[in-house]
Structure 1
C-alpha cells in the first residue's frame, strides 16, 4: 500500500511539473508594450452601430496605422431607433477638414441606419442637403478621397408589413417578377396577376416604391462619382436570392454605370452589406500607399464543388462572390501558392463533407510550416459547429496565431469580404514596415482582430448563441430579438461573458494557440507568445444576434 501511495504521489508530481512547464510557465522573453502609431486619419460614418459595421473597421484600421474616427454614439442609430441624420451631417462637415480620407454610409446619413432605410416609406429624406454637403466638402478639399456606399433593399418586405401571408406573397411576387424579366413564361405571368390580387394595394405600393426610390438614389450617387464629387461609390446588395427585384435593380445600375463609362475603381456593385466598410478601408489604405499595392491571392477550396455552392442569403455562388471581393481590392487571383501574397482558403462545410475537414487542416498546417500566409473563411451550410473547420484546426494543433485572418460570419459576402480585406491590409502594412517596433505593432493589431473573430464567428455564432437563446426561452423569454434592458438583457450578458471566457481559456491552453508565432524583425527572427487572454463581451443591441467583443492579451517576445 505504501509503495502504491508513493507511486501515485510521484506520478502526480511529474504530471504537475509537466503541466507547469508546458502550459503555465511563461516562456523566457520580454513583455511587449505596444504604442499605437497613426499616420492617417479617416472619418467613417458606419452603416449602423453594430460591431461588424463599426468596431471591426476601427480595429482593422490600426493594422495599417489608420485612425478611424466615428461619430459620437449619441448621434448614431440604436437598434430600431434611427440615427440623428441632421447631427451626423453637421458632424461630418465639421470634421472633414481634419481628415485624410472620408468613408460614408448613405443609408446612415439619409435615414439613420440600415434598419431605418428599410422603413423609409413615407418619410422625407433630406437628399438635397446631403448632396450639397458632399459638394461643399469636395470644393473645400479638392484632393480629399471621399468614398460613399449604399445598400440595395433586400427581398424581405419592411418590418411594418407583419402578416406572414403578405410577406410570403410579396417575396414570391418579387421572385417571379425578376424571373419573368429574364425568361418569359406565361404561367409565371398568370401567377403574378393572382398574387397581385392577394396583396393589399398599400403594401405592394410600399414594397415597389422602396426599390424605385433606391434606384434613383443610387443613380444620383453614380452621377456624383462621374462628376468627381465622390472618389468612389460602392453599392451593396443585402440578403439576396437567385431571383428577386433587388437583382433587377442591381442589373439596371450595372447598365447605368457602363453607360456613364465608369470603371470598377470608381463605381463597384457588390453582394453584401456589413463588410463594405471594411473593404473600403482597404481601398483607402491603397490611396495612402505610394505604390498602390494590389494583392496577389491564391484561392483554395475544401472541395471542388464548394466553388459553385449557393449558400443562404446569397444571390450568387461562392466563387463569383470571392472573385468579386478580390476585384474590390484591385487584386488578382494567381495559379499557385508560391506566387501569392497570401492564400485564401474557403471551407464550405455541410453534412456530406465532414471528413474533408482533416485534409483542409493538414493543408493549412503545411502551408504555415512552409512560411506561407493564409486567411481562412470558415462557412457552413447549416450554420453549425459540426460543419465548421475551426475545431478541426484546434484538434490537429494547427498554429492558429499564424493565420492572417479568420472569418465565419453569417453570409459568404460578409465572411469573404472581411477576410480578404484584413489579409490585404496586413500584407500592405507588412511591405511598409521599417523597424522591429513596426513589426510588433502590426502583429499585435492583427492578432487582436483575429481573436475577436475566433470568439464571435466560431465560439459565439456556432454555439453560445444557441445556449443563451435556449436558456432565455426556458425562462419564458421567447422573443430573443427584443430583450428587456432592465432584466433579462443583464442575465443574457452574464451568460455570454462566462461562456466566451471559458472557451477562450480552453483555446489559450491548446497547442494550436500556444505554438509561438515566428516573425522577422530588423533584429532577427523572433518568436511571439500570447498569454493572459481576456474577453469583454456584451450584446450591443437588446437582441442576441450579434455581440460586442474586446479581446486583450499579453504578447511576449522570445528568441
Structure 2
C-alpha cells in the first residue's frame, strides 16, 4: 500500500513538472527588448489625474511613437483637491514652444479638474487668465496645433446641494424642462410649476446658473476656434440622460457652431468625457502624418436591439454614440468586414440576451482566424460579469491576445470612444511600421493597453470591486468613496493587488491567453508568446470606484 502511494505521488509530481515546463510556462523563443522611439512630443493637460484621462493617453501615444507629457503630479488635481490652475497655465506656456502639439482640458486648466468644475459655484475662476494664456500661446507659437476640450455639466446638482429631496426634484425639473422645450406639452408645464414651488429658490437659481455660465464659457471657446486660437475644440457631455437641461445646452451649442459656419474638424460636440483626450490623441497623430489616415470600420452588434439601447448615464442610444466616435476619427462605417481596417464588435449584454454571447464568441473567433483586426466593446446593462462577452471568449478558447482593442468600462461613451481610438491609432501605426522593430514595438504597446483593460474593465469592475467593498463594509467602513489614507486605504490596496494577481495568473494559464500572436514582419512571419505576466495595481484616489493598473510581461518571439 505504501509503495503504491509513493508510486502515485511520484507520477503526480512528474505530470505536474511536465505541465509546468511544457504547458504553462512555455519557455519559447527569444525575449524581445522594447525601446521607445519617439518622433513627436505633445503636452497633455488631462481632464483629471485618473488613469483613463491621463495614463491611458500616455500609453496610447507610445503606439504612435508620440511622447505624451503631462504636468508634474504636485500641481495636478487629487480627488477633491483641485489642481493649481495658475501653475498649470504657467507650465503649459513655458513648455509649449518645445512641443509638437498640445491637448488641453479646459476643466483642468480653469477649475482644476472635472470634480472641481462640478463644485465651482460661487468660486472665482479667473477666466480672463485662461483666455490670455491661450491667446499668448497662439501668438508665440503660430503653427502649433492646439486642441482643447470641455465637458458640459451633468444632470446631477452640485455637491453643496445635499438634500435628497432637493436633488430628486431638481433632476426631475431638468428632465421636464427639456421635454417641454421639445414637445411643448401642457402637462409637462404644469408639473414644472408644481416642482418650482417645492425647490428652494437659491438651489434652483444655482442649478440654472450652472448651465447658463457653462453655455457662455463654451461659446467663448467656440469663438476662439473661429478665430483660430484653437485648432480644434471638442465639447463632451458627461453622465447624461434621455431628457435634461444638459441636452438643451448641447443643442444650443450646436446651433451656435452652425451659425459660425464651423465644420466638425474645428468644433465637435459629442457624448462622453473621460475618453475625449484619447480621441484627440488620434486626431493629433493624424495631423502628424502626411497621408491623413482615416479608418474604415465595420460595426457589428450582438443583436439588432443593441444599437437602439440607451444605457445608464447616456443621453443617446448606443448606435448614435458609435457613429459619433467613428466620425471623430474622420473615418467611415463600411458594410463588410472585408472592406474594413478593423471590426468594431459591440456587445450590449442584459438578462434576456445571454444566448448572443456564444454566437458573438464564434464570430470574433472566425474574424481573428481570418486575420481581421477586431475591437470589442463589452458592456452590460446591469454592470454584471454574467452579461458580458469576455468570459465566454475565454471558455471557448478565443485568442484574446490577438484583439486590437477591448473596452468595457463604466459608460457606453467611455468604452466606445476608447476602443475606437485605440484601434484607429493601432491601424494607422501599423501602416507606418516598415521594420520588424517597429512591428514588435507596436504590438507590445498595444498589448499593454489591452491587458490593462482586461484587468480593470473585467476582473475589477465586474467582480473584485464588489468583494473589496463588501469586505470594507463588513469591517464597519461604510463610505468606500472616502477611505482613510492611514488605515483602510492600505488594506483595500492589499486586497485589490492580491485578488487581481490571482485572477491574472488564472487567466494567463488559459488557452485563450496562451495562444501565440502571428505577426507579418519584414523578416517574415513570426510568433509572439507572452510570459511572466503580472500586474501592479492600486487605488489612485482614496475611493474604490477606479484603479490604477500597470500590467508587465515579457514578449518572446519565434520565427
Which whole-Å CA distance do the structure 2 matches of 1:349 and 1:529 have between them? 31
Which whole-Å CA distance do the structure 2 matches of 1:201 and 1:339 have between them? 57
Q: Deviations over 1:245-288 (max 9, x none)?
A: 00000000000011111111000000000000000000000010
Which whole-Å CA distance do the structure 2 matches of 1:14 and 1:319 have between them? 54
Residue 458 of structure 2 corresponds to 458
Residue 237 of structure 1 corresponds to 237
Give the TM-score of the pair, scaled to structure 1: 0.98
Residue 23 of structure 1 corresponds to 23
Residue 291 of structure 1 corresponds to 291
| SS in structure 1 of the partner of residue 338 of structure 2 | helix
1:143 positional shift: 1.2
Residue 396 of structure 1 corresponds to 396
Which whole-Å CA distance do the structure 2 matches of 1:13 and 1:548 have between them? 38
User: After the TM superposition, which of the residue ranges 6-15 and 249-258 deviates more from structure 2?
Assistant: 6-15
Q: Deviations over 1:196-226 (max 9, x none)?
A: 1111111111111110000000001111101
Residue 379 of structure 1 corresponds to 379
1:26 positional shift: 2.9
Residue 540 of structure 1 corresponds to 540
| SS in structure 2 of the partner of residue 534 of structure 1 | strand
After TM superposition, which residue ranges in structure 1, 4 or more long, deviate above 2 angstroms?
1-18, 20-28
CA contact under 8 A between 1:27 and 1:558: conserved in structure 2? no
1:10 positional shift: 6.8
Residue 184 of structure 2 corresponds to 184
Matched ranges for 1:242-321 at <5 A:
242-321=242-321
| SS in structure 2 of the partner of residue 273 of structure 1 | coil
CA contact under 8 A between 2:21 and 2:27: conserved in structure 1? no
Which whole-Å CA distance do the structure 1 matches of 2:367 and 2:216 have between them? 48
Q: Deviations over 1:351-393 (max 9, x none)?
A: 0111211111111011101100000000000000010111111
Q: Which runs of 5+ in 1 are unaligned?
A: none
User: After the TM superposition, which of the residue ranges 546-555 and 27-36 deviates more from structure 2?
Assistant: 27-36
Residue 505 of structure 1 corresponds to 505
Residue 62 of structure 1 corresponds to 62
1:187 positional shift: 1.6
The answer to whether residue 222 in structure 2 is matched with residue 222 in structure 1 is yes
CA contact under 8 A between 1:519 and 1:527: conserved in structure 2? yes
| SS in structure 2 of the partner of residue 96 of structure 1 | helix
| SS in structure 1 of the partner of residue 378 of structure 2 | strand
1:23 positional shift: 2.6
Q: Which runs of 5+ in 2 are unaligned?
A: none
The answer to whether residue 352 in structure 2 is matched with residue 352 in structure 1 is yes
1:136 positional shift: 1.2
| SS in structure 1 of the partner of residue 44 of structure 2 | strand
The answer to whether residue 418 in structure 2 is matched with residue 433 in structure 1 is no
Instruction: From the superposition, tell whether residues 25 and 111 of structure 1 become closer, same or farther in structure 2 (CA, over 3 Å).
Output: closer
User: After the TM superposition, which of the residue ranges 157-166 and 25-34 deviates more from structure 2?
Assistant: 25-34
Please report the RMSD computed on the Cα atoms of aligned residues, expressed in angstroms.
1.2
Which whole-Å CA distance do the structure 1 matches of 2:136 and 2:6 have between them? 84
Which whole-Å CA distance do the structure 1 matches of 2:24 and 2:318 have between them? 42
| SS in structure 2 of the partner of residue 298 of structure 1 | strand
Q: Deviations over 1:271-306 (max 9, x none)?
A: 000000000000000010111100000000011111
Which whole-Å CA distance do the structure 2 matches of 1:28 and 1:497 have between them? 28
| SS in structure 2 of the partner of residue 109 of structure 1 | helix
